[in-house]
Amino acid sequence: MKKVLCLIAAMSMALSMAACGEKADDKLTMATNATFPPYEFYENETIVGIDAEIAAKIAEKIGMELEIVDTEFGSIIAGVQSGKYDMGMAGLTVTDERKESVNFTASYATGIQSIIVPEGSAIKSLDDLAGKKIGVQQDTTGHIYAADEFGDDMVSPYNKGTDAVAALVAGKVDCVIIDNQPAKSFVAANEGLAILDTDYAVEDYAICVAKENTELLEKVNAALEELIADGTVQTIIDKYISAE
């Protein structure tokens, strides 16, 4: 009888573990950095925004449960590469350097790198950036471009875009290079700041997936392309970004 009970217990444990495994397999873990409005930001304790909503639609299409993990921007690629996260979605620009580490889906949005300055600043155009102290969010393309063009000594990286803007308000840097949509939010929240009319760079946003995870890449990409084709992606973008 004890043997039978032990066998039943063992079978129950195995079934329980299998069920847990299936649940884990059905979870789609998305790494992001939720300080990037309107793409990802907190509304109370929930991460919302363009990327969060698109990811939820993708997860729904491929029959998985979305889990969003807020982490430092600079750790997203490495986390996806190592398998810690299934995918990364954080207003992530496709670059040749990043493509060496991860694969990307089709682009779902266009990003613009803009320059925030204090009102009345002597910086009026890109030509005026030489010799100026530039604030950026660490490991973003704005950081990479500015360091390449003006040198590391002239660039001050911060963990969050909000920290870079706070440094600008405090006079620690002369300008901030950051994506246009977050730039608008930061300027709206901080009196005395403005965005230059000239774009610093134009980029494509996409979702990154580990190179060896080709099956997931195909599923996510197929779902994303369907959502682009049927207008869902544009509807989500329009919800957060008004036409200008």
Check residue 151 and report its DSSP letter: -
CA dihedral 53, 69, 181, 138 (to 10 degrees): -160
Token pair 């992606």: residue:
233
Whether the CB-CB separation of 209 and 217 falls below 8 Å is answered with: yes
Residue among 78, 64, 72, 1 at smallest CA distance from 29: 64
- What is the value of pTM for the model shown? 0.76
Residue 58 neighbours by CB under 8 Å, 6+ apart: 28, 66, 220, 223, 224, 227
What pLDDT is recorded for position 242? 73
Q: What is the pLDDT along the chain (244 residues), one digit of tens a residue?
A: 434 334 334 444 444 433 333 335 799 999 999 998 999 999 999 999 999 999 999 999 999 999 999 999 999 999 999 999 999 999 999 999 999 999 999 999 998 999 999 999 999 999 999 999 999 999 999 999 999 999 999 999 999 999 999 999 999 999 999 999 899 999 999 999 999 998 898 899 999 999 999 999 999 999 999 999 999 999 999 999 875 4
**Domains of the chain, earliest start first:** 2-108+206-240 (3.40.190.10), 111-202 (3.40.190.10)
Check residue 86 and report its DSSP letter: S
DSSP β-bridge partners for residue 158: 137
Residue among 145, 115, 143, 110 at smallest CA distance from 128: 115
With both helix axes pointing from N to C terminus, report the angle between 180-189 and 161-169 in degrees, rounded to the nearest 10: 50
What is the C-alpha to C-alpha distance for residues 41 and 235, in angstroms, rounded to an integer? 18
